[in-house]
Chains A and B, each alone.
Chain A
């Protein structure tokens, strides 16, 4: 069983409408790296120059906010990761 990553609307527009993908990482960071390897256009959106999440992105695991240190949070097969832009609104 794999980990499911749910892709937010703005990133869907960058990957031809794909809404979710399955990956095999043991942590959020490993999962996102696998996604970035498959969709290199997302890499700069998921990681800043220091390899951390940019400020505008938050991660949820099975609906729970993964803050703090989201990239090192462990995930198990069957878990669902949600990437969300932190509400900008206006």
Chain B
């Protein structure tokens, strides 16, 4: 059986040079694929101190070894770069078809280097790659852009593009593919800085598997198991549009810039209410869940708003931070973010920050261009989304994210930045789900809910052991979740589908796809996850991050959480140091959060030791 390690397409936009390479077998063994490859190549190829928006930063697009095959829910794809929002390691995950199309073009990695003088896009086929003018689509939104590219290159084309927000270098611009986004960390901003509007792939289905027979047998088993799983069936019915029913009920739905843990009158926001506006569904390649719920507003001031989504995070982003229960406004804001190419989480959280500054008198109507940022009022929120994307008025300031905005505003406004490492927090209140909160604190990219999702705290999942969601001592759970996620993102397995009863087949599928039997051992997969997480940590240490950057926001550490109705009143995260000491110790890191030489050697990361000496 021939080992299939995956192919790299390297495109230098400055020189126009294009080359194809194979991933070395040792890299495939140690990092498996996708996010694993992403951190490996980014660490090796980006010099410390590289300007995230400079010519020397790179955008790395990654599909996993299972993408485009008959196995289900494994065709998501990943972008890695140095984040212009945080300065830290960036990884952002996207759905739709683009990952499968990368594999049809026999690619697992696209490395984009340099910067092109004029707006351009990349067109890839199995045999070639061209850098073409984007004159016709520069300034267009993501829907118009994709429609134009399809008109140019035909129905067998899939694209990943940026909208005006990326062109305007909004620090948290997204990359959009169909109506799915690689939303977090400003990956679209880096594309914009390179004058790169889109990457389009024209290809038809071809499989590149080391052992097709074994793979297909396993895939059939996976499909059979998944189809009966209750989680799959529930996800098929609701997607994530009812998660707010639970998070509100248990008091972890952040409201008013993380002041409260529950929306008063949250019953107006439940999944059943969104369902009334549902007009269809969409999904990723080879996934029958089709969990993207499409909504259309049929009346009122937002009549005609139409969006694939909002899903849970975006439902929250456009209701919780501004204390609104207007479903229609959330659909409109979600649509705008997708069209302009914005991360909904940072957009909503940044707007919530602005509302609180307005309430506290730190900004006023003259700063906002006349907008009254009063809690419950959704019209200014929708207006701010557009202003941010176009850097219009106060939008120019908010386009920088909360940390930079607070630096400019001063007057103690930094207290109201709800972020870790500069990445704004998502839709789970850390004080009411502490393993989730400490995942925010320690995740390589900053406050990201999907970097080690604490289903134990939030849903009562008892694996690897049950938790009390107010217990601050579950460092082992946080590590388990983070490493398990990392290993799954080598696949790339959808974070939801990973729990749909077939996880015992994952390593075998990887092994049959690659021809590397090491992957069959779950303990080996866990070690790969650990290796990836440590290399990401080393990347961040090289950039000056350390223990000081592993704390939750001051509000979370000093103010009790008021839920107003649900259980959890008065819960407070206040022992970050105790948690970090335990977490670092279990990770094999020093008290400053630096991996020890011993730990790095265990993971085969000996070459990293010299890079982080003295950190």
**Which residue numbers of A lie inside 8 Å of B, CB to CB?**
6-10, 12-14, 17, 19, 53-58, 60, 63, 65, 67-68, 82-90
- Taking CB atoms and an 8 Å cut-off, the chain B residues in 514-537 that contact chain A are none
Chain A contacts of B313 at CB under 8 A? Answer: 90
For A56, A87, A90, which residue has the most chain B Cβ atoms within 10 angstroms?
Answer: A90
Q: Which residues of A contact B326 (CB under 8 A)?
A: none
Complex: how many Å from CA A28 to CA B242?
A: 27
- Given A63-B462, A82-B460, A84-B462, residue A89 in contact with residue B496 (CB < 8 A): yes
Most A Cβ at <10 Å: residue of B234, B251, B455, B457: B234
What is the interface of chain B, defined by CB distance below 8 A to chain A? 228-231, 233-235, 237-240, 242-243, 245-246, 249-251, 311-313, 427, 449-450, 453, 455, 457-466, 468-469, 495-496, 499, 501, 566-567
Q: How far is the CB of A35 from chain B (nearest CB, A)?
A: 14
A9 and B455 alpha carbons, distance in the complex (Å): 11
- A contact face: mostly helix, strand, loop, or mixed: loop
Please measure, in the bound complex, the distance between the C-alpha atom of A34 and the C-alpha atom of B242, giving whole angstroms.
28
Contact of A55 among B233, B427, B453, B499 (CB under 8 A): B233
Cβ B499 vs Cβ A86 within 8 A? yes
Complex Cα gap A45–B567 (Å): 19
A-B contact pairs, 26 of them (CB 8 A): A8-B459, A10-B249, A10-B250, A13-B251, A19-B468, A55-B231, A55-B233, A55-B237, A56-B234, A57-B230, A60-B463, A63-B462, A63-B464, A67-B229, A82-B462, A84-B460, A84-B462, A86-B459, A87-B455, A87-B461, A87-B496, A88-B234, A88-B242, A88-B496, A89-B449, A89-B495
Residue contact A58 to B246, C-beta cutoff 8 Å: no
Residues from chain B with a CB closer than 8 A to the CB of A60 are 462-463
User: Of B243, B465, B566, which is within 8 A of A63 by CB?
Assistant: B465
The answer to whether A88 and B243 have CB atoms under 8 Å apart is: yes
CA separation between A81 and B461, bound complex, in Å? Answer: 11
Known interface pairs A10-B250, A84-B461; A89-B501 also in contact (CB < 8 Å): no
Instruction: Give the residue name and chain of the B residue nearest to A9 (CB).
Output: B250
Quick one: which of B231, B457, B501 contacts A9, CB cutoff 8 A? B457
Q: Kindly list chain B residues whose C-beta atoms are within 8 Å of the C-beta of A85.
A: 246, 458-461
List residues of chain B with CB within 8 A of the CB of A58.
Answer: 230-231
Q: Check if B230 sits within 8 Å of A87, measured CB to CB.
A: no
For A90, what are the chain B residues with a Cβ–Cβ distance below 8 Å? 239-240, 243, 311-313, 427
Q: Can you name the residue of chain A whose Cβ is closest to the Cβ of B462?
A: A82
**Hey, which chain A residues are within 8 Å of B469, CB to CB?**
9
Contact present for B455 and A82 (CB under 8 Å) = no
Task: Please report the C-alpha to C-alpha distance between residue A6 and residue B229 in the assembled complex, in whole angstroms.
Answer: 22
Contact A12 B250 (CB under 8 A): yes
Query: Given contacts A8-B460, A55-B234, A86-B229, could you give 20 more A-B pairs where the C-beta distance is less than 8 Å?
Result: A6-B462, A6-B466, A10-B246, A10-B250, A13-B566, A14-B249, A53-B230, A55-B237, A56-B230, A63-B463, A63-B464, A67-B501, A84-B461, A84-B462, A86-B459, A88-B246, A88-B496, A89-B243, A89-B455, A90-B311
Closest to B455 in A: A87
Q: In the complex, A58 Cα to B249 Cα: how many Å?
A: 19
In the bound complex, how far is the Cα of B235 from the Cα of A6, in angstroms? 24
Out of A8, A19, A63, A87, name the residue touching B499 (CB < 8 Å).
Answer: A87
Chain A residues near B230 (CB-CB < 8 A): 53-58, 67, 86
Q: Which residues of A contact B237 (CB under 8 A)?
A: 55
Distance of A1 from chain B, by nearest CB (Å): 20
